[in-house]
């Protein structure tokens, strides 16, 4: 087998492994009772806000407004509305950004506040209705979705690679925080060369540094 064939075989095996884990974890997440989904989401929001305040205070992330990227959840994903509401209530200069795919094939980060209108994007996920955008290089903290995570920082997404490409730029140096339910934390996530690792994980049980 040539080097090229071996690389293709390894890549195909990684894809199969990711697909199998994705199927298992999504099915598991979908069975979470609605009352627990709501309670766990609210608890995770408290810990996520605590981590945000800890990072911004300890590391002095930005001399200007703290810039935070979050996401609007869909399906059985952890509900991010409590976190987004809490971020907007923070009494300090802050910019909140949400990802958008409506006008681009790659994620564009757009500012969001309580006055911003939301419209459905390509996957039915709500996005800010604004032409304004902010470079990933200006983001201090990224709160990121995923299907599975591990404590070394591994993240399994939905297979499209949107967030990995967003984070792959040289200037996307903000702290990466995976936000999920504790049942989505596994022993080891299969990762490849283009998968971007997390710095922290937040669940309804608290937050931990990866590594």
Q: Which domains, ranges and CATH numbers included, belong to the chain? A: 3-209 (3.40.50.10420)
Q: Is the pLDDT of residue 207 over 80?
A: yes
Query: Whole-angstrom Cα distance, residue 126 to residue 161?
Result: 19
Q: Check residue 1 and give its pLDDT.
A: 54
Is the pTM higher than 0.85? The answer reads yes
Query: Whole-angstrom Cα distance, residue 53 to residue 125?
Result: 27
Tell me if residue 181 falls in helix, strand or coil: coil
Tell me if residue 26 falls in helix, strand or coil: helix
Least confident of 8-22, 136-150, 179-193: 8-22
Q: Is the pLDDT of residue 180 over 60?
A: yes
Share of the chain above pLDDT 70, in %: 93
Q: What is the mean pLDDT of residues 109-136?
A: 94
Other beta carbons within 10 angstroms of residue 162's beta carbon come to 16
Q: Check residue 63 and give its pLDDT.
A: 62
- Give the CB-side neighbour count of residue 135, counting CA atoms within 13 A: 7
């Amino acid at each position: 087998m040539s080097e090229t064939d071996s690389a293709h075989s390894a890549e195909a095996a990684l894809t199969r492994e990711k697909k199998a884990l994705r199927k298992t974890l999504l099915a598991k997440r979908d069975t979470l009772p609605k009352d627990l989904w709501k309670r766990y989401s609210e608890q995770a929001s408290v810990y996520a806000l605590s981590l945000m305040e800890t990072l911004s205070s300890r590391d002095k992330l930005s001399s200007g407004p703290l810039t935070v990227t979050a996401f609007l959840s869909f399906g059985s994903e952890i509900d991010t509305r409590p976190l987004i509401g809490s971020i907007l209530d923070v009494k300090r200069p802050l910019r909140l950004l949400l990802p958008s795919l409506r006008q681009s094939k790659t994620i564009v980060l757009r500012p969001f506040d309580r006055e911003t209108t939301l419209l459905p994007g390509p996957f039915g996920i709500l996005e800010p209705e604004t032409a304004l955008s902010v470079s990933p290089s200006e983001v201090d903290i990224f709160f990121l979705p995923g299907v599975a995570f591990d404590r070394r920082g591994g993240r399994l997404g939905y297979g499209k690679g949107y967030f990995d490409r967003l984070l792959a730029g040289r200037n996307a140096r903000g702290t990466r925080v995976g936000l999920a339910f504790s049942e989505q934390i596994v022993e080891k996530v299969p990762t490849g060369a283009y998968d971007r690792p997390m710095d922290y994980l937040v669940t309804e049980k608290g937050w931990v540094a990866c590594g």
